[in-house]
Structure 1
Amino acid sequence: MNGRSPTILVADTGRRNEAAILNAALAAFGEQGFNGASMRDIARLAATSLSNLYNYFPSKSHLLAEVLRHANAELFRRVITATADAGDEAAPRLREAVRAYVGFVVDHQLAMLVSATEIRYLQGPQRERLVEARDATQAIFERIIADGTGNGEFRTPYPEDAARSILSLCAAISMWYRPDGPLSRGQLAEQHARYALAMVEAPLPRHD
């Protein structure tokens, strides 16, 4: 995987076969792309039969949609939890939202890459549901920035564009991050939190 972080996305919570299949699908899509990976490849990686795989998922597109659904749900859960614990002021909420987002990218780098590159192969309701899920996460950032500009915490003249720019910056980590790089997970998250606060022209926190 060229030094990328682990492929495990779906934990085994009593549905072992399904979790194994989804994690195998993520690995296959990450290595070979949607078009290159076959259902037979995924069954082999999941240590199951092809017929059993089809019992769970009728097509590759259903598999991709479910992998990305899990990724979006986990990202949303982390961001909403982090902001709920950050208090009422906009700056700490934005800082923690970014830290949570970066943490997800580091923990699930391959899922983030697959989400960015392979969603183009989904159409109709499958794609629409995933776009709605992405929009829900972006809306958290938009709400924080709107609160901050409304009460004077943030001075950016471009609040409508700030959330999209911040999320693009964080998502791009998946393209270059290496676990053996010079920055720890926490350092990387803190660095990008400071970038985000600078984008919205918020006073940066002091470090003693």
Structure 2
Amino acid sequence: MVAPSRANEAAILDAALTAFGTLGFHGASMREVARGAGTSLSNLYNYFPSKAHLLAEVLRHANAELADRLARAVAEAGDDASSRMREAVRAYVGYVVDHQLAMVVSTAEVRYLRGDERDRLVAGRDENEALFTRIVEQGVASGEFRSPYAADATRAILSTISAIALWYRPDGRLSRGQLAEQHARYALALLEAPLPRP
């Protein structure tokens, strides 16, 4: 597979995300992606030999950006588990709002990946989940998080944030920052952590 230039790659991935998000994996065609990227079908196949490869790359890029945002947020947070959880949740909500279509595609279309492509994507997602798990384990060990159902609470937190992509509207009642703060409070409440003053 020929490595595309950064400009070509960005155009192709943006067009692919739009196609997968509006038409679904089966409804989207490589011809549609090529048209959206302003390139020829044969040129697209030089870069991505199949639609599954293209979907895998779209999702890999999305997951890598989410991982980067989470890592930076946690690194810049305080040392206590509550601060780290609050900032991780805020970063995740911010990502979902900024990349709503990517989240929808990631949730709905990953089932079409097989083999190594799916395994690599799942491993990346597992790493993001593990970041939250480590924070929860820290909070449980320190006594900050008092929930007897910490593992279940972690899954509920991640599921709730992911679901924002299905209903969020930029012109909705809450601003991006308000939505992030609300979900940070939800997370700490689920973990039975002391809540900051509103």
TM-score range, shorter chain: over 0.9
What amino acid is aligned across from residue 50 of structure 1 in structure 2?
L
1:183-202 equivalence runs, <5 A: 183-202=174-193
Q: Name the SS of the counterpart of 2:91 in structure 1.
A: helix
Q: Can you give the 5+ residue segments of structure 2 that lack an aligned partner in the other structure?
A: none
In structure 2, distance between residues paired with 1:30 and 1:108: 11
Moved segments of 4+, more than 3 Å: none
In structure 2, distance between residues paired with 1:18 and 1:79: 24
In structure 2, distance between residues paired with 1:18 and 1:50: 14
Q: Name the SS of the counterpart of 2:170 in structure 1.
A: coil
1:25-64 equivalence runs, <5 A: 25-64=16-55
In structure 2, distance between residues paired with 1:84 and 1:122: 32
Kindly report the root-mean-square deviation, in angstroms, between the aligned alpha carbons of the 2 structures: 0.7
Deviation at 1:92? 0.5
1:2-151 equivalence runs, <5 A: 15-151=6-142
Q: Which residue of 1 aligns with 2:153?
A: 162
Return the TM-score normalized by structure 2: 0.97
Deviation at 1:165? 1.0
Q: Write out per-residue CA displacement over residues 15-35 of structure 1, whole angstroms, 9 at most, x where no aligned residue.
A: 101110000000000000000
What amino acid is aligned across from residue 44 of structure 2 in structure 1?
L
Structure 1 window deviating more from structure 2 (111-120 vs 14-23): it is: 14-23
- Percent identity, aligned pairs only, is 70
Q: Write out per-residue CA displacement over residues 51-96 of structure 1, whole angstroms, 9 at most, x where no aligned residue.
A: 1101110000000000000010000100110001102100000000
In structure 1, distance between residues paired with 2:6 and 2:58: 15
In structure 1, distance between residues paired with 2:75 and 2:14: 29
